[in-house]
């Protein structure tokens, strides 16, 4: 049985942006690749005791660039839920692989 990781979910104009702090290693790739420059370091600590990231939700265009570049699958961006309704707490996921 796979382990579940707790998600922090942010509402963004086109859906939701999700970080799994326990998977984040603080490499900063997501911050460097975001075309809107809306990611920054969080006060939360990740897998190695380094800061995780959070989003300035108002500026996020839900392009998924950050999720696609994260080497640890610590980010998910869900555009579909903008139409289906957004749940803001209690989302868990199992690790990929």
Among positions 78-97, residues that touch ligand SF4 (CB under 6 A) are none
Among positions 27-66, residues that touch ligand SF4 (CB under 6 A) are 27-30, 34, 36, 38-39, 52-53, 55, 60-66
Rounded CA separation 17/2 (Å): 23
Q: Is 18 in the site for ligand SF4 (CB under 6 A)?
A: no
Q: Is 70 in the site for ligand SF4 (CB under 6 A)?
A: yes
Give me the least distance between CB of 57 and ligand SF4, in Å please: 9
CB 51 within 8 A of CB 68: no
Rounded CA separation 7/16 (Å): 12
Question: What length is written for the chain?
Answer: 97
């Amino acid at each position: 049985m796979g382990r579940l990781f707790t998600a922090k979910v942010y509402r963004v104009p086109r859906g939701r942006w999700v970080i799994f702090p326990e998977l984040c290693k603080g490499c900063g790739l997501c911050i460097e690749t975001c075309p809107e420059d809306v990611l920054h370091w969080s006060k939360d600590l990740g897998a190695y005791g380094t800061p995780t990231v959070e989003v300035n939700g108002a500026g996020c265009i839900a392009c998924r660039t950050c999720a696609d570049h994260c080497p640890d699958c610590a980010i998910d961006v869900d555009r579909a839920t903008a139409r289906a309704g957004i749940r803001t707490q209690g989302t868990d996921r199992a690790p990929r692989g």
